[in-house]
Structure 1
Amino acid sequence: MATIGDEDERERSSSFEEIAGDDDDEVTDGRASRAQRRRRQRRDAILRAAKRVFREKGYHAASTRDIIDAAAIARGTFYLYFQNRRELLAELCESFLERIRGSVRRISLDPADGEPLEQMRANFRRVMAVVVEDSDLADIMLRDPASFDPETRAQVELFLDQVVALIERAVEVGHALGIARRCDRHIIAVSALGALREILRRMLEARRAAAIDAAPARDRPASSTSATPGPTRPSAALTDIEAVADELLAFFVQGVFT
């Protein structure tokens, strides 16, 4: 016959097992969380390495082996995350577009949020900052899509089409707010994209040249251009992100001729 003491002992034993089970679950969850974090870090490291390799060698010249070496991982590890270079580039394109989308804020008519043009100026500056912060990937995306193979070219052109759609939407909103004239939004968006791509490409070149000039002579690459301005050297004026953003905004809003 079971006594009260026996029942108490069983309850204590059961409680201990539940606590031990909870501890085991916590240990398991902790290990799973750490493993997931390591996988995410490894994936991000591969993406960063791919950006560097694609910019330095070009997409065509870059091999999977180059990316594996740059990421300092085993070949088998690479294929746990990506099947090929195209898959890498597709993810890089999507992440870049998401960062650009995330930098653009909806224009508000609330006086507390400032004038619409000032909000647009802030949007331009944030987009420029994203491009500069992710210059390796921006270099890839700003190249002529014709330089890629057909499948990769389709990925890059899809990215550019999505940017055109973003600009069209901005023009539509501007018209609704009374700060943009009635126009063919698609033609304007395609024209704006062309101007943006070229100015951003030159801006990145100018910032790299300025960084080389600022470095001690012993640290400069042998192939770097001299500090003497010349017809092929990007303008130093392009190194100022805010100034470039402000001039672009003025161009798109006011044009050139008065």
Structure 2
Amino acid sequence: MKQVPYVASAREISKIYGSGDTAVEALRSVTLEVAAGEFVAVMGPSGSGKSTLMNCMAGLDAISSGEVTIANQNLDFTNDRQLTELRREQVGFVFQSSNLVPTLNITENIELPFLLAGRRPSAEERAWGHQLQRMLGLEQRAHHRPAELSGGQRQRVAIARALVTRPAVVFADEPTGSLDSGSSREVLELLRQMTDTLAQSIVMVTHNPSAASYADRIIVIVDGRVTHQLSGAGAEEISGLMLTLEESR
């Protein structure tokens, strides 16, 4: 059997906040493996642990037990400097708020990961950034600042910034949460396009069944455990499942 290359994985991970009587087990032996070129949506009721899972897989939060790997690197065996470099080079982030720097133009915001690494982008990296601008319909906005863009356009810039380092995986936390329906659809179609055309792996946390329907696979977390996995599910099927879970709590 051919081995599937996983670009990011969480294997039997647990996350406990606090200790003793006040301890809260946010994740309970969760396993999630993300293949190259796969778009995975993580869903669950409020407080289910879905954002905690993303933070642990992205190396933003330490796990209590288990194993997390990104690009074949076990995060347990990285020091703070190595972990920072790994996140900068192998992980892209897209959040609900685009988190753009208001004083920088679009091109400068996209190239920000290189500047944070203490260097200017190479000619090849700069060309890739320009190609992303063309792919995402930002070419005519290259010299505009974030305040001059719509919410959907700002999220396009955030997507380009997440992709410019050619990361192993992009983590998107409610990327359409603050957008109207038209802009949301635009951003989700772009994320789908990045998976289909660039084989970019994406893990998206969302509460929205319509958003989750763009993914190849939907993982549902309830009370810190994976309870369901769906493949190719439509918005109505996902919505029905989530309603059932909410009613059973």
Q: TM-score, normalised by structure 2?
A: 0.27
The structure whose Rg is larger is 1
Q: TM-score, normalised by structure 1?
A: 0.26
Higher relative contact order (CA 8 A, sep 6+): 2
Q: Which has the higher helix share?
A: 1
Q: Which has the higher strand share?
A: 2
